[in-house]
Chains A and B, each alone.
Chain A
Amino acid sequence: MRSDTRVIKLILAGWLIAIVGIQIFVYLLMANYSALLLDELTFFNLPIHFWLTGQFLPLWFIILCVLFNFWMDRNAAKAGSLDGSLRFRVKSASREED
């Protein structure tokens, strides 16, 4: 449980820093230099701010999710926890009440 929480915190830190950090970086580039420079800095054909925000961040989210899942799978296999073994069908609330 404690190690789960530690990994979740790390993933969330990676998620938050990337989102806020990239926007602050773009904001500072814009404020300290100029929009012209921002558009001259290109990556994969796109202005750097478009690439970082529109292309990289969704990709980063996928990477974070994959890392989290690999860790959870490995941890579940080691601990033989609920994660690996629990498979069940959902029942409706009314059926459960019955």
Chain B
Amino acid sequence: MIDGTVQVLPLAIVVGLLALFIISGLRHRARKQWEYGLSGVYTGRIGIGAAIASNWMSAASFLGLAGMFYLKGYYAMAFVVGWTGGYVLLLVLMATQIRRFGKFSASDFVGFRYESDTARTLAAFILIIITIIYSVAQFRGIALLVSWLFGIAYFQAVIVGALLLVSFVVVSGALGVTQNQKLQYFVLIFTFILPLMLLTRKLGYFWILPQFGYGAAIGDLHKLGFAWSEPFVNTTLFQWLALCFTLMFGTAGLPHVLSRFYAVPGIRDARWGVVWGLFFIALIYWSAPAYGVLARLFEVRNSIPFNVGDGQAADMVVLSAASLAGLPVWVIGLLAAGGISAAFSASAALLLSGAASFSYDIYPHLIRPDATESDKLFAAKGFFLILAAIVTLLALKPWGMIAEIAAFAFALAGNTIFPAFLLGIWWSRANSAGVISGMLTGVVITFTPLLIGDALPLLSRLLPVTSSAFIGAPLVMIVMVVVSRLTAPPSEDMRRFLARNVHGCTEN
């Protein structure tokens, strides 16, 4: 889609949308310096739900998922189930309990629960690695859109996109803008669903609810000889379940997802906020497959050859479907604006969360023990820029599609943070030695298939790069249990705190 021309109207829509977010955010200025990167505006349960959904919506949801459907058909359903089913785990096993700890970040939680600065620092390092990997997926999405908007090559687009993102965050920070996440979510859902309705209408399918209307397109594709929606043809049931459960475990272990529950005003609000958030997220995932299906149908009808190895084209399928259908350029602009906003919002939240992890959990503990609040704030800003630079470099040559890179970040979260939180909340015997061994095992399990998977095919089959937490997370929990059993139990104070404050019962 690179033709050297600047897409003026779509670019204007993108700029207008980002300006709208800044102006609306100016009404909710950050209240305290120490809230840098962790503040938010909460207005009731629907507001919390919208904040959860807006926080969640990223390039992976907006662009990557449709791309996976376009390329892999039914296999991509594992993303839909994984990215929604994880919220059930989060709600019933963690949301309420995390809030009862009253801590400020994931590493703060680990440090407090396991009474260990080493565990806290290790968690902070892992959170930063998760942030980097997940942000690479976002930067790839931003770069693809910037490449189309400005008509430039991917390599240049990564750098331009990164500069735009950093400028956006710096301007927002300088003006004291706080994200108005409710507005952001409703704008994103509008920019995603409206073009889909128009697209479905153009093809003559049931357009009022395109989430159902695209079913007829699958039938038409079959009549034309494309049976790509068949389940378990190119992938096994194990691969499907492994990806699905990895994404679910990862959802319950991602720092920017967990962070939603530290700052909500009440426990009951947190619980109902998850339900609304899940509903808002499901609205996107009920719709995303339609883009992949319709893009395939347009290509078949126009005799455009299908290139199974073209990940970039697949990641841009949301835009190319609208373009192939001949929809007005403002509609494509809306999609581009929605995609950029989702990727900007997710990247900014992740990078700020990573910077906060550094400035609160690593900087004062390992680098400067006497750091003041303003020192920490300065460190957070500096580390934000360093993180952005690292992510930019990695995004220049990404190793997979947007959804695949995101899934790798989920695998790391599922193999490390998820077991640490789960056992930390539900098993009072889990101790610092257990969690440190467990998290280190999780890191090894996540990265081994990536680094030496080619040499060990069996390992790659059991622990696929994007799906390692299906087997990895239970293994990590076993390591945690064994090591905890073999070492000294947590303090009596902590066990009493868990019994009384977290699980709301007296000791028996």
Interface residues of A (CB under 8 A from B): 1, 4, 8, 11-12, 15, 19-20, 23-24, 26-27, 30, 35, 38-39, 42, 44-47, 49-51, 53-55, 57-59, 61-62, 64-66, 68-69, 72-73, 76, 81-84, 86-95
- Bound together, the chains give a CA A49 to CA B231 distance in angstroms of 8
Say how far B75's CB is from chain A's closest CB, in angstroms.
11
- Bound together, the chains give a CA A1 to CA B502 distance in angstroms of 10
Residues of A contacting B275 with CB < 8 Å?
62, 65-66, 69
Interface residues of B (CB under 8 A from A): 34-35, 74, 77, 80-81, 84-85, 87-89, 91-93, 96, 100, 102-105, 108, 206, 211-216, 218-219, 222, 227, 229-233, 237, 240-241, 244, 262-263, 265-268, 271-272, 274-275, 278-279, 282, 285-286, 289, 360, 364, 373, 376, 501, 503-505
B212 touches A15 (CB 8 A): no
Q: Is the interface of B mostly helix, strand, loop or mixed?
A: helix
- Bound together, the chains give a CA A51 to CA B155 distance in angstroms of 39
Further 8 A-B residue pairs, CB within 8 A, beyond A46-B214, A54-B289, A57-B84: A15-B85, A35-B233, A55-B212, A57-B81, A58-B84, A81-B504, A93-B104, A95-B34
A45 touches B212 (CB 8 A): yes
A15, A26, A54, most chain B CB atoms within 10 A: A54
Say how far A78's CB is from chain B's closest CB, in angstroms.
13
- Bound together, the chains give a CA A91 to CA B285 distance in angstroms of 35
Among A50, A62, A69, A82, which residue has its beta carbon within 8 angstroms of that of B504?
A82
Q: How many A-B residue pairs have CB under 8 A?
A: 164
Say how far A64's CB is from chain B's closest CB, in angstroms.
6
A44 touches B212 (CB 8 A): yes
A59 touches B282 (CB 8 A): yes
B279 touches A62 (CB 8 A): yes
B237 touches A54 (CB 8 A): no
- Bound together, the chains give a CA A88 to CA B503 distance in angstroms of 17
The 11 sampled A-B contact pairs (Cβ below 8 Å) are A12-B89, A19-B241, A39-B218, A55-B212, A58-B285, A62-B275, A62-B282, A65-B278, A69-B271, A83-B267, A94-B376
- Bound together, the chains give a CA A53 to CA B376 distance in angstroms of 46
A23 touches B272 (CB 8 A): no
Among A26, A53, A68, A84, which residue has its beta carbon within 8 angstroms of that of B91?
A68
Residues of A contacting B213 with CB < 8 Å?
45
A50 touches B218 (CB 8 A): yes
A27 touches B104 (CB 8 A): no
B229 touches A47 (CB 8 A): yes
- Bound together, the chains give a CA A44 to CA B214 distance in angstroms of 10
Taking A15-B85, A50-B77, A58-B286 as contacts, is the C-beta distance between A86 and B100 under 8 angstroms?
A: yes
A11 touches B88 (CB 8 A): yes
Residues of B contacting A45 with CB < 8 Å?
206, 212-213, 215-216
Say how far A97's CB is from chain B's closest CB, in angstroms.
10
Taking A45-B206, A90-B263 as contacts, is the C-beta distance between A19 and B85 under 8 angstroms?
A: yes
> Nearest chain-A residue to B266 (Cβ)?
A87
> Nearest chain-A residue to B356 (Cβ)?
A92
> Nearest chain-A residue to B32 (Cβ)?
A92
B84 touches A8 (CB 8 A): no
- Bound together, the chains give a CA A83 to CA B231 distance in angstroms of 43
Residues of A contacting B103 with CB < 8 Å?
90, 93
Say how far B237's CB is from chain A's closest CB, in angstroms.
5
- Bound together, the chains give a CA A20 to CA B268 distance in angstroms of 30
Complex A-B, nearest 9 residue pairs according to Cβ-Cβ distance, in ascending order: A45-B215, A46-B215, A35-B230, A1-B505, A58-B282, A58-B84, A87-B266, A53-B77, A65-B275
Say how far B111's CB is from chain A's closest CB, in angstroms.
8
- Bound together, the chains give a CA A68 to CA B214 distance in angstroms of 32
B265 touches A27 (CB 8 A): no
A23 touches B241 (CB 8 A): yes
Residues of A contacting B272 with CB < 8 Å?
69
A8 touches B77 (CB 8 A): no
Residues of B contacting A86 with CB < 8 Å?
100, 266-267
B278 touches A61 (CB 8 A): yes
Say how far A29's CB is from chain B's closest CB, in angstroms.
9
- Bound together, the chains give a CA A57 to CA B211 distance in angstroms of 14
A65 touches B88 (CB 8 A): yes
Residues of B contacting A15 with CB < 8 Å?
85, 88-89
Say how far A86's CB is from chain B's closest CB, in angstroms.
6
Residues of A contacting B102 with CB < 8 Å?
88, 90-91
- Bound together, the chains give a CA A93 to CA B112 distance in angstroms of 10
- Bound together, the chains give a CA A34 to CA B216 distance in angstroms of 19
A94 touches B360 (CB 8 A): yes
